[in-house]
Structure 1
Amino acid sequence: MNHNTPLSPRPLRHLVTTQRRVMSGAQLKAHGVSAAAAQEQCRAGGPWQQVLPGVFLLHPGPPTGEERLHAVLLYAGRTPQRRVPAGAVPVQPAAGDPHATPGGPATPYSDVLVTGLAALALHGFSAAPALLSLDHVDVLVPRTRRLRSTEYARLVRAPGLPDPVTLDGVPVAPVPRAVADAVAQLADAEAVRRLLTEAVRGGHCDPASLVRELTAARLLTRPHVVAAVDSLLAEGRAIAEDRLYAMVRECGLEDPLWNVDLRLPAGPHLGGVDAYWPDHAVAVELDTRAPRPGLRQDDDALWGAYVRKREHLERLGITVVHITPRKLRESIEQQAAVVRTALMASGDRDPAAYVVVLPRS
């Protein structure tokens, strides 16, 4: 017997007691099941079925949504396998673990991430259909992978994969990338708007990271996507402002003047700020800019104007605290501490120039 000789056949009932009954041909071989034996189990009326090339469902009924998901991962991913030494008794995989290999610990899928609507369903999006109702399961794979989309497995090739988010043991693309891959397949403007809105309103990501992914995917040439993004950016600013209000209220900061313009007496307009503490000469400004394709020069001009405004205010003795929506979402207490420190330090600074405060027009 050489290392390529399959192990002697043994009863297959140990394979169908796992919680997730879907395995690759390589995994079956590691359990002593030859390719011929697997095909025999998949004969008409047999107990198994081949659901994707090289992937077997170990029961005759239709696959569940979870089983379809793992079947696609087994088809598209690289799952390292370990062969059982000759004479050894194969060990049953842990219940619910399709990655377990006999004689060793569980190994994760590699070089593959669930993305698109399937990923958003796993992230808990109400706007994403249930896994079982999806016509396709999209998976990100390296551009060099020698596989084709087939059946309900749809491959999305990428030069590099983002860091995965592991949900229920499944490697999943981060929300911004998953949304971009889902939007790439959608022509329904309302469906696109719902996904983008839930991504931001649900706190899954900030508008800037979402727009970056849509830009990278070259999706902002589509009118219905552009319209959804315009609405998204407006909503993103409103959400960030609400979080700023909550930060002041919940973290015990003094009440500022909200959304005001600053001017020198009988002088030029200095610019608007989102919050201002006149007794301390401290201002907070939200940065809700997001990159837009074809508008790089405009973005650079806006950033340049912001920097000039900030430098001008600081020359007048006004401390400007710059906060992004992401910081407010992920570390609101830390941002409150930054503002509190600036307020407390005002007594140690030289008095600021007198400025006129007006409601923002």
Structure 2
Amino acid sequence: MNHNAPPSPLPLQRLSHIRPRVLSSAQLREHGVSAADAGAHCRPGGPWQQILPGVCLLHPGPPTSEERLHGALLYAGRPPAREARAVPAQPGAGEPHAPYADAMITGLAALTLHRFSSAPPLLSQDRIDVLVPRTRRLRSVGFVRLVRGAALPTPQQITGVPVAPVPRALADAVAQLTDAGAVRRLLTEAVRGGYCEPAAIVRELSYARLLALPHVVDAVDSLLAEGRAIAEDRLYRLVAEHGLPDPLWNVDLRLPGGPHLGGVDAFWPDQAVAVELDTRAPRQGLRQEDEALWSEYARKREHLERLGITVVHITPKKLRDSAEQQATVLRTALMASNDREPAAYVVVLPR
């Protein structure tokens, strides 16, 4: 081909229906566009431009936020199988194959797609984080920053884009942040907005080995306190909205003249039923402490049940996702008290 000759106008006509207007080299071949034609169209002053290795933007202006997202995924995604590349393009059908396998948007860009108000707009983000398997032989380039993982979560589809779940996206975003205030705002919004529970966030931060960073530790402490307050509020509303009798809230139980039995979040003395919110958030590297805490939970529950007190464990996630079911569990426990032997008398003190 004579490189001084103008490129053929055929690709422009053939690909006018593509949205978003960004394709990989493999996809261009599916549409019958040779590498030589693509290169000619991407020359300076041409109608296209190469925004990433092997990724062409099919117009000369700056890419939109949608085009940047799809371009990043086209660069990082696993190339399509040979049989998929052989599928002919259908006019008006959009792109025939989106090779996004093993790649998803994560970090701040993912949080923006999840509609976090504390995450910046996509166009103001210099980099787009893309989560890929650890074995992918790629490097970060241009506006794409690769984040490698041994095990990838199942992505959520948001406006046609595979996006990491909120806990994983948060961990990948926090890994790039040094501002304690920004970290705290993101974590707080995740819990207040009902995106996920504190335990899931702490678990991902732990896997990413971020819990040793002082600004992350401070934010996590605030997060756990926030999460517990939200869980307590949900428990109050569950009791009120489902017509359960009012319990004694946040009390300590003690045998008369004897040892302290432990605190519970709600207690119905007439029915000898207690509720304990399980807001533990295990952290990697603190397994002995986690096991000790769980052992303490188990010992307290066994001791109370030996005294005839029914202990109902409820997690914040269950309160959020299945409040009606938890109300049924509590109502059943309260009604079953008539069929049980009377419980031992315990002293109830404010906690």
Q: Which band: TM-score by shorter chain?
A: over 0.9
Look up the match of 1:203: 194
> For residues 82-102 of structure 1, what are the alpha-carbon distances to aligned partners after superposition, in whole Å with 9 as ceiling and x for unaligned?
3457xx7x413535xxxx32x
Look up the match of 1:56: 56
Q: What CA distance in whole angstroms lies between the structure 2 residues aligned with 1:253 and 1:39? A: 71
- Is it true that 1:283 corresponds to 2:274 in the alignment? yes
The aligned runs of 1:192-271 (5 Å cut-off) are 192-271=183-262
Displacement of 1:350 = 0.9
Q: What secondary structure does 2:276 align onto?
A: strand
Structure 2 contact 17–92 (Cα < 8 Å) conserved? no
Look up the match of 2:5: none
Q: What CA distance in whole angstroms lies between the structure 2 residues aligned with 1:93 and 1:323? A: 52
Q: What secondary structure does 1:56 align onto?
A: strand
Displacement of 1:108 = 5.7
Q: What CA distance in whole angstroms lies between the structure 2 residues aligned with 1:12 and 1:32? A: 12
Look up the match of 1:3: none
Q: What TM-score does the superposition give when structure 1 sets the normalisation length? A: 0.91
Structure 1 contact 31–84 (Cα < 8 Å) conserved? no
Q: What CA distance in whole angstroms lies between the structure 2 residues aligned with 1:222 and 1:328? A: 31
Q: What CA distance in whole angstroms lies between the structure 2 residues aligned with 1:161 and 1:188? A: 27
- Is it true that 1:353 corresponds to 2:344 in the alignment? yes
The more displaced of 180-189 and 263-272 is: 263-272
The aligned runs of 1:1-361 (5 Å cut-off) are 10-80=10-80, 82-83=84-85, 90-92=89-91, 94-95=93-94, 100-101=95-96, 109-360=100-351
**Residue identity opposite 1:54 in structure 2:** G
Q: What CA distance in whole angstroms lies between the structure 2 residues aligned with 1:178 and 1:216? A: 13
Q: What CA distance in whole angstroms lies between the structure 2 residues aligned with 1:84 and 1:289? A: 52
Q: What CA distance in whole angstroms lies between the structure 1 residues aligned with 2:127 and 2:335? A: 56
5+ residue gaps, structure 2: 1-7
Q: What CA distance in whole angstroms lies between the structure 2 residues aligned with 1:146 and 1:43? A: 27
Structure 1 contact 16–59 (Cα < 8 Å) conserved? no
Structure 1 contact 55–71 (Cα < 8 Å) conserved? yes
Q: What secondary structure does 2:118 align onto?
A: coil
Paired residue total:
342
Structure 1 contact 65–132 (Cα < 8 Å) conserved? yes
Q: What CA distance in whole angstroms lies between the structure 1 residues aligned with 2:122 and 2:93? A: 24
Q: What CA distance in whole angstroms lies between the structure 2 residues aligned with 1:289 and 1:49? A: 51
> For residues 225-247 of structure 1, what are the alpha-carbon distances to aligned partners after superposition, in whole Å with 9 as ceiling and x for unaligned?
01111111111110110111111
**Residue identity opposite 1:24 in structure 2:** S
Structure 1 contact 257–275 (Cα < 8 Å) conserved? yes
Q: CA RMSD in A?
A: 1.7
Structure 2 contact 105–164 (Cα < 8 Å) conserved? yes
Q: What CA distance in whole angstroms lies between the structure 2 residues aligned with 1:128 and 1:92? A: 38
Q: What CA distance in whole angstroms lies between the structure 1 residues aligned with 2:142 and 2:220? A: 32
Displacement of 1:293 = 4.2
> For residues 160-207 of structure 1, what are the alpha-carbon distances to aligned partners after superposition, in whole Å with 9 as ceiling and x for unaligned?
211111111211111111000000001111111111111111111111
Q: What TM-score does the superposition give when structure 2 sets the normalisation length? A: 0.93
**Residue identity opposite 1:36 in structure 2:** A
Displacement of 1:107 = 5.0
**Residue identity opposite 2:122 in structure 1:** L
Percent of aligned pairs sharing the same letter? 73
